[in-house]
Amino acid sequence: MDGFVHSAELAARRTSAAARDTNVQDGRPRASLNRPSAPASQPPRPVPRQPAAAPSMANDEVEQLAASCNSLDELARTLDAFDACPLKRTATQLCFADGLPDAHVMIIGEAPGRDEDEQGRPFVGRSGQLLDKMLACIDLDRSSDDPARSAFISNIVFWRPPGNRKPSTSEVVMCLPFVRRAIELAKPRIVIAAGATPAQALLDTPTGITRMRGSWKKITVGNGEIDVMPTLHPSYLLRSPEAKRFAWRDLLAVKAKLLAM
């Protein structure tokens, strides 16, 4: 199966996620309706204004929309105008990609955090600083103009989840056609999936990242296959520096493959 989950399952998940998160009658978050209503004698409490609910969109429509983009610029513009991902309602702005689109290596992280949300660029906060150091260890630098020395960096979702929580399955599923199209358009030689969320989504597996990391996988995008190296997320490495040696091994494998290509 090429996608993250089968489209029928996707549809079912999306429907149930939507039903869980919102009231089906008026589309407002369920939490506001679960509050006990005020006794009749008291004036009604003002209801905080909610951002408009994201319009629903079937997964095959999202796939078609992503497939209709013929360049990364067009993909970024389309995402900027895309209102169906609920994360967009709480994020400051789209955070699509950074680095060199022609780079031989593309890195897919989990989700923008606060700094990325502010700047609209992936991996610019503390995890990004560590990512840059990790890349420097294998002679890569996202600011380089040389495709062999640069990196193209994005995330598995394009808007910051509130409070930096992990993106939900339905949010990942909604963004995945755009991520896959970005890979197809950028045509990297290698994708590094940094962390469990992007690795599981791209490789369509529930396997944990500690088991998955370090071994090459392949994904099919468009008409081609791309090598994927799952590895540990920089923010995990900030919390567990003793695991850096595993990420180091994974990066050496990336370097070796790049040199052999």
Q: Please answer whether residues 181 and 191 qualify as being in contact, where contact means their C-beta atoms are separated by less than 8 angstroms.
A: no
Amino acid at 118: E
Q: What's the closest the beta carbon of residue 216 comes to ligand URA, in angstroms?
A: 21
Which residue carries 């540990």 as its tokens?
232
Closest to ligand URA by CB, 59 vs 123, is 123
Q: Does 127 bind ligand URA (CB under 6 A)?
A: yes
Q: What is the CA radius of gyration of the chain?
A: 20
Q: How far is the CB of 111 from ligand URA (least distance, A)?
A: 5
Angle of helix 126-137 versus helix 244-260 axis, rounded to 10? 50
Shorter beta-carbon distance to ligand URA: residue 86 or 167: 167
**Contact call for residues 191 and 231 (beta carbons, < 8 A):** no
Residue with Cβ nearer ligand URA (116 or 184): 116
Note whether 155 binds ligand URA by CB under 6 A: yes
Q: Where in 128-147 is the site for ligand URA (CB under 6 A)?
A: 128
The CA distance from 160 to 109, in Å, is: 12
Among residues 127 and 170, whose Cβ is nearest to ligand URA? 127
Taking CB positions, which residue lies at the least distance from ligand URA? 109
Beta strands in 61-123 (DSSP E): 98-99, 105-109
Residues 190-249 within binding reach of ligand URA (CB under 6 A): 235
Binders of ligand URA among 58-117, rule CB under 6 A?
A: 109-113, 116
> To the nearest whole angstrom, how small is the minimum distance from the Cβ of residue 124 to ligand URA?
7
Closest CB 243 distance from ligand URA, rounded Å: 16
Would you tell me how many other CB atoms lie within 10 Å of the CB of residue 227? 16
Q: How many residues bind ligand URA (CB under 6 A)?
A: 13
| Smallest gap from residue 215 Cβ to ligand URA (A) | 21
* Residue 260 one-letter amino acid: A
85: Cβ contacts below 8 Å, ≥ 6 apart: 54, 157, 158, 159, 171, 174, 175
Dist CA 53 CA 246 (whole Å): 42
- We find the least distance from the C-beta atom of residue 134 to ligand URA, in angstroms, to be 13
Contact 6, 13 (CB under 8 A): no
Among 122, 161, 188, 230, binds ligand URA (CB under 6 A): 122
Using CB under 6 A, list all residues that contact ligand URA. 109-113, 116, 122-123, 125, 127-128, 155, 235
